[in-house]
Homo-oligomer: A and B are copies of this chain.
Amino acid sequence: MFTYHHKLRVLYGDTDQMGYVYYGNYGYYYEQARSEAIRSIGISYKQLEDEGTMMPIIRMNIKYIAPAYYDELLTIKTFVTHLPNRIIVFNYEVFNEKNELINEGETHLAFVDAATKRIKAAPPVLMDKMKTYFVND
């Protein structure tokens, strides 16, 4: 399993008049966590894109457990539990400063050839790195 922890400060612009982080902002938070998770293994999503792989999101599921508040320093745990093939699933758990789990979600991303726009297998540059986290699979 691959796991990465990212810290993120809640901004004023993220909140709504209920005083909570607006529900529609979590996809953006997940992107931030996911891109830093990928970067932590020595790859950037930009590099994958430059080399001809697009990764559109095809599904997102979110469970809102408790609110996040302005100025909290959230920790987003990003993890991948299965070696990807044509799809990679990222799981997220968001913790507040009291270490309470306040939100969890998942995004499914497809690997798409930028030229043909067809789904393809994950590129070797990513698979080689990923395999090191799934030695017993």
Residues of A within 8 A of B (CB): 9, 11-13, 15-20, 22-28, 30-32, 35-36, 44-46, 54, 56-64, 67, 70-71, 107
Contact (Cβ within 8 A) A31 B17? no
A35: chain B residues at CB < 8 Å are 9, 11-12, 71
A32: chain B residues at CB < 8 Å are 9, 11
Contact (Cβ within 8 A) A24 B17? no
Distance in Å from the Cβ of A25 to the closest Cβ of chain B?
Answer: 7
Given contacts A12-B35, A44-B71, contact A20 B61 (CB under 8 A): no
Give the complex CA separation of A71 and B26 in angstroms: 19
Contact (Cβ within 8 A) A70 B56? no
Give the complex CA separation of A46 and B17 in angstroms: 11
Contact (Cβ within 8 A) A59 B62? yes
A71: chain B residues at CB < 8 Å are 35, 44-46
In the complex, the chain B residue whose C-beta lies closest to that of A112 is: B18
Contact (Cβ within 8 A) A61 B60? yes
